[in-house]
Amino acid sequence: MKPIQPSLKFSFILCLFTMSGCATLSESQCKAQDWTTIGQYDAQSGYPALRMADHQNACDDYGITVDPAQYQTGYTVGLQNYCTAENGWSEGSKGNNYRGICPAESRFLSTYNPAKRLHDAQRKVTDLKQSLERLENQRDKLRRESRRLTLLIQQGKLPIEQLESLAKARNHTNQQLRDVHRERNATRRELDLAISALAAISVSTATILRH
């Protein structure tokens, strides 16, 4: 089995970042009719075999028919590479979804499931840390604005109308500050729980890998 062509891999990746519903194969790929390589790539990328129908839809525009036998030959080889314990860990660690394509799932899932749980827990901690940082920056900004408005009001050098406007602005800022403070505290608590969960999952994953 020859290696998967870089151009084929690139076109699939490009399709993911362009408009939804884009053709799975280009005209040149359809005309090349390398169905074995395409089938192998699909399986190794975790796609179900039904993806062949999408390829047929793409190639219909050029009057080309996918060869099911050749596609399935490549797809079977791709499954052998995809449905391994090593790849299960790789897919789970990347956070990739599993589409249930492995004929015998136990070997793949034995590493995919713990790796995916670990990835998701790590991602949650990272996201919460970013949210907490954003809220703390917002809190600090509101605190500075509240102090600035308070100083202007205390100086009393502005017309009464402007002082009243500043007082309203300060009240609004202080309310925002209280809201952000509550959200920040809630996020902090959620982060603490997520860190604890991550630690437990890490221990569990290490235990699984030792067996």
Give residue-wise pLDDT tens across range 42-82. Answer: 999 999 999 999 999 999 999 999 999 999 999 999 999 99
Of 95, 97, 99, the residue nearest 122 (C-alpha): 95
> Does the pLDDT value for residue 13 go beyond 60?
no
3-state SS string for 153-187 = HHHCCCCHHHHHHHHHHHHHHHHHHHHHHHHHHHH
Q: Does pLDDT of 23 surpass 60? A: yes
Specify the residue for token string 């390829």: 55
Cβ neighbours around 178 below 10 Å, total: 11
How much is the mean pLDDT over the chain? 89
- The pLDDT assigned to 158 comes to 86
Contact predicate 43/52, CB 8 Å: no
Whole-angstrom distance, CA of residue 177 vs CA of residue 54: 52
The answer to whether residues 13 and 41 touch, using CB atoms and an 8 Å cutoff, is no
pLDDT band at 17 (very low <50, low <70, confident <90, very high): very low
Q: What is the domain partition of the chain in residue ranges? A: 6-82, 115-210
C-alpha 76/C-alpha 54 separation (Å) is 18
Q: Which pTM does this prediction carry?
A: 0.74
Q: What's residue 206's pLDDT?
A: 82
